[in-house]
């Protein structure tokens, strides 16, 4: 199996099974309901873990929660810890409802402070970092290869933040002295403060795996400065760190006003509530993980239609059409999920298709249960009420259908609705 690596800029072969394959995928900063963009690295990590295990690997996924950050302080002045805790719960709920299972370990930055301080002390002792005014900065001049991941020359880099305390503008903070308005802080040899974002991830990854692991994942927007700096710190500590860097492409909106169509902006929660988790997952699968992906009403509708063609296979008699090796070829080659979907669309063998859908958390598509006659009757009456523009009656009938354990979804094809068993 091979995967594209940002550092080498080429496809890299994984070691043969059982590996191990240890994966660290950067998680969210928790201060609001998570954006659908956060679902992409989450789902990619979960699918990859499932597939690797299926291929005989000993695969582990660590996905961190960044619960110390300027965004959290800004969003909840005086109550940042409570917000971070609440938003962590939301994230676990929302990603849990994607139905893909959960990562093996979900470390929080607030729980790794002693190890973070110890790592910063080592960097100061070895001359890679310096204290200034209660802050500690990493000195990029001490790393001859700095810029290796994002392939930038130091002099062309945009400094992350400007500070007169820095020796060079590209130096970055490992520790930040407490500022007015920040309501959480921890003790350190440099006074009260909190860790910088990049050192959190270096330390949490190495706490889970030790000084080397196979795959580091995250969004393409993390290459610089976040991952560039993680790598610089860990190399300075004498560690090999990640062997393959996987960066997923960003989700785009193509000018579509998602807030209107989803009613809830483009949050993971909103997509699950308004479209169902299967539609959201199918849309994520439809794009190659490295490329940008348009996540809007049109592409969500296309994914819903794709799912319907899978359901239709289960509504028809099973035929021995399909070859598992084709799926393996697609996924083993840089985890090409759009190609995997194309292969699966050619299959008519129920058992084979059910297994493949199960890899992606979509086994529910195979359960095409017919609604009982009384529920179909309610749905018919609702359709008539809608045609007569009697929307209050239509809403009442929708509630009755819901109370009977079914959900009515409006679709373009006749009869204009589909009845789905509530999970
Ligand atoms: Zn990170």
10-residue averages of pLDDT along the chain (423 residues) = 98 97 96 93 98 98 94 92 96 97 97 97 98 97 97 88 93 96 95 96 97 97 96 97 97 61 70 94 98 92 95 88 97 98 97 97 88 93 95 96 91 80 71
Q: Distance, CA 69 to ligand 1 centroid (Å)?
A: 12
- With beta carbons less than 8 A apart as the criterion, state whether 55 and 18 touch: no
Tell me how far the alpha carbon of residue 343 lies from the centroid of ligand 1, in angstroms: 34
Q: Does residue 267 form part of some domain?
A: no
pLDDT of 169 = 94
Give 157 Cα–ligand 1 centroid separation in angstroms. Answer: 20
User: Based on the domain organization, do 313 and 390 belong to the same domain?
Assistant: no
Rounded distance between C-alpha atoms, residue 357 and residue 339, angstroms = 14
Q: Classify residue 49: in a domain, yes or no.
A: yes
pLDDT of residue 369: 74
The answer to whether the beta carbons of residues 407 and 418 sit under 8 Å apart is no
63 and 47 in one domain? yes
Last residue of a domain, one of 339, 368, 397: 368
- Measured in Å, residue 382 CA sits from the centre of ligand 1 at 49
Residues 22 and 113 in one domain: yes
In angstroms, what is the span from residue 51 Cα to ligand 1's centroid?
23
Q: Sheet holding 193-195: strands in order across?
A: 129-132, 135-138, 172-177, 193-195
Cα 232 to middle of ligand 1, angstroms: 13
150 CB-near residues (< 8 Å, 6+ apart):
223, 224, 228
Residue 311 domain flag: yes
Same domain, yes or no, for 364 and 386? no
Ligand 1 centroid – CA 149 distance (Å): 14
User: Are both 350 and 373 inside the same structural domain?
Assistant: no
Same-domain check for residues 137 and 117: yes
Shared domain for 111 and 155, answered yes or no, is: yes
- Domain ranges, residue 326: 274-368
Domain's final residue, options 231, 248, 265: 248
**Total count of domains within the chain:** 3
Bridge-partner residues for 213, per DSSP?
242
Q: Is residue 20 part of a domain?
A: yes
Q: Answer yes or no: is 50 within a domain.
A: yes
| pLDDT at 216 (0 to 100) | 98
For residue 98, how far is its CA from the centre of ligand 1 (angstroms)? Answer: 22
- Ligand 1 midpoint to CA 371 (Å): 46
**Same domain for 175 and 162?**
yes
Q: Can you give the pTM of this predicted structure?
A: 0.86
Examine the domain organization and report whether 332 and 208 are in the same domain: no
Tell me whether residue 226 is in a domain.
Answer: yes
In a domain, 268, yes or no: no
- Are residues 242 and 351 located together in one domain of the fold? no
- Among the candidates 199, 230, 248, a domain finishes at 248
List the Cα angle 239/175/118 in 5-degree steps.
45
Query: What residues form DSSP beta bridges with 3?
Result: 12
Å from CA of 134 to ligand 1 middle: 24
3-state secondary structure the chain: CEEEECCCCEEEECCCCCCCEEEEECCCECCCCCEHHHHHHHHHHHHHHHHHHHCCCCEEEEECEECCCHHHHHHCCCCHHHHHHHHHHHHHHHHHCCCCCCCCECCEHHHCHHHHHHHHHHHHHCCCEEEECCEEEECHHHCCCCCCCCCCCHHHCCCCCCCCCCCCCCCEEEEEECCCCCCCCECCCCCCEEECHHHHHHHHHHHHHCCEEEEEEEEHHHHHHHHHHHHHHHHHCCCCEEEEEEEECCEECCCCCHHHHHCCCCEHHHHHHHHCHHHHHHHHHCCCCCCCEECCHHHHHHHHHHHHHHHHHHHCCCCCCCCHHHHHHHHHECCCHHHHHHHHHCCCCHHHHHHHHHHCCCHHHHCCCCCCHHHHHHHHHHHHHHHCCCHHHHHHHHHHHHHCCEEEEECCCCCCEEEEECC
Beta bridge partners of 212: 241
Considering just the CA atoms, what is the radius of gyration of the chain in Å? 24
Please give the distance, rounded to the nearest whole angstrom, from the Cα atom of residue 102 to the centre of ligand 1: 18
Distance 75 CA to ligand 1 centre (A): 20
Q: Are residues 381 and 358 in the same domain?
A: no
Measured in angstroms, how far is the CA atom of residue 349 from the centroid of ligand 1? 42
The enclosing domain of 193 has a CATH number of: 3.40.50.620
Same-domain check for residues 334 and 189: no
**Per DSSP, what are the bridge partners of residue 11?**
4
Asked, for residue 269, whether it belongs to a domain, the answer is no
Distance (angstroms) between ligand 1 centre and the Cα of 76 equals 22
| Dist. CA 21 → ligand 1 center (Å) | 18
């Amino acid at each position: 199996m091979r995967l594209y690596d940002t550092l080498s800029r080429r496809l890299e072969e994984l070691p043969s099974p059982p590996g191990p394959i240890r994966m660290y995928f950067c998680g969210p900063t928790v201060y609001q309901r998570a954006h659908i963009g956060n679902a992409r690295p989450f789902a990619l990590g979960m699918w990859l873990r499932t597939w690797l295990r299926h291929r005989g690997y000993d695969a582990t996924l660590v996905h961190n929660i960044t619960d110390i950050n300027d965004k959290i302080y800004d969003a909840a002045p005086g109550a940042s810890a409570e917000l971070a805790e609440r938003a962590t719960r939301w994230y676990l709920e929302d990603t849990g409802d994607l139905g893909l299972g959960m990562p093996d370990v979900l470390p929080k930055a607030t729980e790794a402070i002693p190890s973070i301080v110890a790592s910063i002390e080592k960097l100061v002792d070895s001359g890679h970092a310096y204290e200034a005014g209660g802050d500690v900065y990493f000195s990029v001049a001490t790393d001859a290869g700095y810029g290796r991941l994002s392939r930038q020359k130091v002099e062309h880099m945009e400094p992350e933040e400007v500070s007169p305390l820095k020796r060079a503008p590209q130096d970055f903070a490992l520790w930040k002295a407490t500022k007015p308005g920040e309501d959480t802080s921890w003790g350190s040899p440099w006074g009260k403060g909190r860790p910088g974002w990049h050192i959190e991830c270096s330390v949490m990854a190495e706490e889970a795996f030790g000084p080397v692991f196979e795959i580091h994942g995250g969004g393409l927007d993390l290459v610089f400065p976040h991952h560039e700096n993680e790598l610089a710190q860990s190399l300075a500590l004498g560690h090999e760190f990640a062997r393959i860097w996987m960066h997923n492409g960003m989700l785009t909106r193509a000018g579509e006003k998602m807030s209107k169509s989803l009613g809830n902006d483009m949050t993971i929660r909103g997509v699950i509530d308004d479209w169902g988790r299967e539609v959201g997952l199918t849309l994520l699968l439809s794009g190659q993980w490295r490329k940008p992906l348009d996540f809007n009403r049109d592409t969500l509708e296309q994914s819903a239609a794709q799912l319907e063609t899978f359901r239709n296979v289960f509504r028809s008699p099973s035929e021995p059409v399909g070859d598992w090796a084709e799926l393996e070829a697609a996924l083993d080659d840089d985890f090409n999920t759009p190609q995997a979907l194309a292969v699966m669309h050619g299959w008519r063998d129920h058992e084979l298709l059910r297994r493949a859908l199960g890899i992606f958390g979509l086994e529910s598509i195979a359960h095409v249960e017919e609604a009982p006659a009384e529920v179909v009757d309610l749905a018919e009456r609702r359709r008539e009420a809608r045609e007569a523009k009697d929307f209050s009656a239509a809403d009442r009938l929708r509630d009755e259908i819901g109370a009977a354990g079914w959900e009515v979804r409006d679709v373009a094809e006749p009869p204009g609705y589909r009845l789905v068993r509530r999970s």
